[in-house]
Amino acid sequence: MNFDIKKMTKRELNVGLKDQKVRYGVGVVLALISVFLANIPLLLMGVILLASARLRWCPVYSGLGRSTVDPSEEQADSTGSQTGH
């Protein structure tokens, strides 16, 4: 597997719905733990996971050319964005 820096900067939908839920969950847990332990690196990791879940884009996945999005998710997302829901 080659990592492509140029491809990494291209924003594309590459985080699937299951992956998004896991990122939300782990991000919230890390953020909460970081508050109690006063640990900045855990907070940063939690924020990064929450942001990638919200955007459904992961620059590391882009650089590696990987995607966890099912083709049916892409169709549902594109029709949902057209109707504004």
Q: Where are the domains of the chain?
A: 26-63
* 47 SS3 class: helix
Measured between alpha carbons, how far is 17 from 56 in angstroms, rounded to an integer?
8
C-alpha distances in Å from residue 67, one per residue of 15, 34, 74: 6, 29, 11
What pTM was estimated for this model as a whole? 0.76
Each residue's pLDDT tens digit, 66-79: 888 888 876 555 54
Tens-digit pLDDT profile for residues 14-34: 899 999 999 999 999 999 999
